[in-house]
Chain A
Amino acid sequence: MPENPFHHTLVELIDEGIVYHLPDGQVSYGNPAALRILGVTRDQLMGKTSMDPQWKCIYPDGRDYPGSEHPAAISLQTGQPVKDAMMGVYNFRESRFRWISISSFPQKDEQGNLTQVLITLRDITEQKEAEEAEKETSQTLRTLFDAMEEMVVLHQVVLDAQGLATNYRLTDCNRAFTRITGISRDAAVGKLATEVYGVNEPPYLHEFSQVGLTGTPYFFETYFAPMEKYFAISVVSPGTLTFATVSNDITPVKKIQQHLAAKNRELEQIVYVASHDLRSPLVNVDGYARELGYSVDELREELSDGAVAALADMNESINHIRSSAQQMDKLLKGLLKLSRFGRAAIEVDTIQTKEVVDRVLESLEYQIQQQEILVEVGDLPPCRGDYVQVTQVFSNLIGNAIKYLDPQRPGRISIRGFEDLEKVWYSVEDNGIGIKENHRESIFEIFHRLDPAKTEGEGLGLTIVRQLLERMNGEIRVESRVGEGSTFLFYLPKVRVE
């Protein structure tokens, strides 16, 4: 033990464990830090050797650490110091291994004889545990990284002498990258983009280097010609001049979208051509029926009474032909109109819904006053949509509400709106005749009319409303009670707050 009182105090206070061994290996002193680290009392420590079977020591890899390999034992045997051996020592007081870094220093007298061996014990348990936790985290992340469906690639921007980005180097990639591109990790990591992809210009250099230089994330969809694939790419910068790309292969989705769009165009074309060409013969059916009518009128002047009766029959036939031709024409016009709405370009903008509704009500003012309808307009938050089409939606719904009021009681219509997280909901509510439950879906079908005898219309209003809302990423539904009224509830995308 230290003989100098100052040294003694120092050794008693120090945070590093210090143990003295006599030349025979027995412990002659252990400072409080050593006792704490090893989890023993001074009495338990004194007189022990490193060879004592009571110690339970392991190497970092879990193997037993034999007493003969203990730094103290080595220094005792060889007379040489040992630096920073790492050892796990079971601390019986805490019931756990403490990790220590042990160094041993042999001390000799003037003749060179070993007098004692001093060992220092540095407790590195927390440090080692932190390292292990980090290793575990990074292993977990690596596993996730490799299990991801998305391709993830880390890159470093390559700058020229002027500080301009000229290329970028791949620094890591996951398995999805290899699966989708067919490029192995070895062929990618550490290589320049131009080498990896076999191109002269690094793909998307501008977009990517901007992210690496500014740190501002970027997202885009693109067609990557060399692979004939569509990707949705999200680019983020984990540090200066580095960027990570997370790419989704959206080729199958794109293919389906393109297929659907083509089918839609085809269908609309068919509807357009069919209804257009079908109207042409109808012009003749109706036109010549009318001509027949003229001839009948001329004949009437010259014929006997008996024949005139026959002419009345002819007139009736002519009227049937003509009204059917006109009915057919209305339907075809309806189809044309619907196909036209389907083909119209939409311009999505912020819509001041309150203004839209006020305008629609203004255009219906005459009817509203005539029928003494009470119209209430509540809060109407703005939404995203096409101005003309949103106007059309409100116009059709409010028009319907007026049309299907119950003449037996004063009409009341209220138009309201509210926002949720992503959408703006609007409702057009009336106290009209209501809709039977089994009709609630069919009212949206083309040419469906609940009471054709009593009300005017082509049976297109709600079909158009649903079609327009769908094109603007909205949706509509109806709630109704027969005899009490109906509420049409629909939503449109909310205005994004930047």
Chain B
Amino acid sequence: MNNEVIILVAEDDEGHVGLIRKNLARAGITNKIIHFPDGQEILDFLLCLGEGPHREKDQAYVILLDIRMPKVSGVEVLRAVKSNPEIKKIPVIMITTTDDPREIENCHVLGCNSYITKPVEYENFVQAIRQLGLFLSVVQVPNL
């Protein structure tokens, strides 16, 4: 059994992905990261559909989701994950540019585990990523 948690990042902006990678590394998080450029690809991965890579049994995952993505939005991915008994225990963290309270509320209602606003002020972002690292080390990530 592989206990090393894999971080799944669904994010359409390559730049943001780079920043997330760099900052996770700077926060001391060295877990494997798989990047998906839109909501459809991460859903295919999780639901074992299509020709791309698929989720493995007995592997622990954490999902970082952007909200605004082409094809399938982050909110829809969140809804699909949380309504599927097989994968609903995977922690989902929304990382997005909006701090609209209604959007945040909506994500919490749908069952997201954490919500991080992508701040332009970099220090805040680093801080948020550190908290995420802390979160990842504290939260019990279930094996599937």
Enumerate chain A interface residues (CB-CB to B < 8 A).
276-277, 279-288, 290-291, 322, 325-326, 328-329, 333, 336, 340
Does A280 contact B13, Cβ atoms closer than 8 Å? yes
Does B120 contact A336, Cβ atoms closer than 8 Å? no
* 17 more A-B residue pairs beyond the given contacts A283-B125, A325-B120, A336-B99, with a C-beta to C-beta distance below 8 A: A276-B98, A279-B120, A280-B16, A280-B68, A280-B118, A283-B16, A284-B13, A284-B16, A284-B19, A286-B122, A287-B16, A287-B122, A288-B15, A291-B19, A328-B120, A329-B120, A333-B99
Cβ of B22 under 8 Å from chain A: yes
Residues of A contacting B51 with CB < 8 Å? none
Does B98 contact A283, Cβ atoms closer than 8 Å? no
Q: Are A336 and B100 CB-contacts (below 8 A) given A283-B120, A326-B121?
A: yes
Does A288 contact B97, Cβ atoms closer than 8 Å? no
Interface centre among B68, B102, B119 (most CB of A within 10 A): B119
Chosen A-B contacts, 7 in total, with CB atoms closer than 8 Å, are: A279-B120, A282-B120, A283-B15, A285-B120, A290-B122, A326-B120, A329-B120
Interface centre among A279, A288, A322 (most CB of B within 10 A): A279
Residues of B contacting A326 with CB < 8 Å? 120-121
Does A288 contact B19, Cβ atoms closer than 8 Å? yes
What CA separation (Å) do A281 and B13 show in the bound complex?
8
Does B97 contact A287, Cβ atoms closer than 8 Å? no
Name the interface size band of chain B: 10 to 19
What's the least CB distance linking B27 to chain A, in Å? 14
Q: Encode contact with A along B87-118: 1 for CB under 8 Å, 0 otherwise.
A: 00000000001111110000000000000001
Q: Which of A279, A286, A291, A340 touches B97 (beta carbons < 8 Å)?
A: A279
What CA separation (Å) do A354 and B20 show in the bound complex?
49
What CA separation (Å) do A283 and B12 show in the bound complex?
13
Q: Are A283 and B118 CB-contacts (below 8 A) given A276-B97, A288-B15?
A: yes
What's the least CB distance linking A24 to chain B, in Å? 108
Does A280 contact B97, Cβ atoms closer than 8 Å? yes
Residues of B contacting A279 with CB < 8 Å? 97, 118, 120
Does B19 contact A336, Cβ atoms closer than 8 Å? no
Which partner residue on chain A sits nearest B102 by CB separation? A340
What CA separation (Å) do A277 and B70 show in the bound complex?
13
Which partner residue on chain B sits nearest A344 by CB separation? B102
Which partner residue on chain B sits nearest A277 by CB separation? B68
What CA separation (Å) do A279 and B8 show in the bound complex?
23
What CA separation (Å) do A288 and B15 show in the bound complex?
8
Which partner residue on chain A sits nearest B101 by CB separation? A340
Residues of A contacting B102 with CB < 8 Å? 340
From 22 to 57 in chain B, residues with beta carbon under 8 angstroms from any chain A beta carbon are 22
Does B98 contact A336, Cβ atoms closer than 8 Å? yes
What's the least CB distance linking B41 to chain A, in Å? 19
What's the least CB distance linking B79 to chain A, in Å? 20
Q: Encode contact with A along B47-89: 1 for CB under 8 Å, 0 otherwise.
A: 0000000000000000000001000000000000000000000
What CA separation (Å) do A279 and B96 show in the bound complex?
10
Does A287 contact B15, Cβ atoms closer than 8 Å? yes
Does B22 contact A291, Cβ atoms closer than 8 Å? yes
What CA separation (Å) do A340 and B104 show in the bound complex?
13
What CA separation (Å) do A287 and B129 show in the bound complex?
13
Which partner residue on chain B sits nearest A330 by CB separation? B120
What CA separation (Å) do A11 and B100 show in the bound complex?
100
Residues of B contacting A291 with CB < 8 Å? 19, 22
Residues of B contacting A325 with CB < 8 Å? 120
